Amino acid sequence: MSGPGVLEIYILRRTLRAVGVSIAVIFAVILLIQFEELSRSVGVRADAEVSDILWLTLLRSPGLVLLLSPFVFLFGGIAAYVGLNRSSELTAMRAAGVSAWRFIAPSAAFAVFAGLVVVMMLNPLAAGLSARFEVERARILQNYQAEAPKEVWLRQGDNRDLVVIHAKSRDMQGDAIRLQAVSLFVYQKDGSGRLQFRRRIEAAQAVLQAGFWRLSDVREASAGQSTVRSDSLSIRSTLTSASALDRFASPESVPFWGLPGAIRQTELAGFSSRGFRLRLHQLIATPVLFAAMSILAAAASLRLARQGGLALAAGAGAAVGFLVFFFNQMTGALASADIIPPLLGAWAPPLVALLSGLAVLCYTEDG
pLDDT for position 209: 79
How far is Cα 182 from Cα 169, in angstroms, rounded to an integer? 9
Is-contact 167 207, C-beta < 8 A?
no
DSSP state of 171: E
User: What angle in degrees, to the nearest 10, is found between the helix axes of 274-284 and 259-268?
Assistant: 160
How far is Cα 325 from Cα 10, in angstroms, rounded to an integer? 29
pLDDT for position 113: 94
How far is Cα 173 from Cα 219, in angstroms, rounded to an integer? 23
pLDDT for position 245: 56
pLDDT for position 247: 54
The CA radius of gyration of the chain, in Å to the nearest whole number, is 26
Nearest CA among 256, 239, 257, 238 for reference residue 248: 239
Q: pTM of the predicted model, to two decimals?
A: 0.74
Q: Encode pLDDT of 28-73 as tens digits.
A: 999 999 998 888 877 666 667 788 889 989 988 998 899 899 999 9
pLDDT for position 270: 62
Type of residue found at 255: P
HSE (side-chain half, CA atoms, 13 Å) at 184: 31
How far is Cα 367 from Cα 362, in angstroms, rounded to an integer? 7
Is-contact 151 168, C-beta < 8 A?
yes
197 compared with 16, residue with greater pLDDT: 16
16 compared with 158, residue with greater pLDDT: 16
Distances (CA, A) of 257 to 29, 122, 131: 29, 11, 15
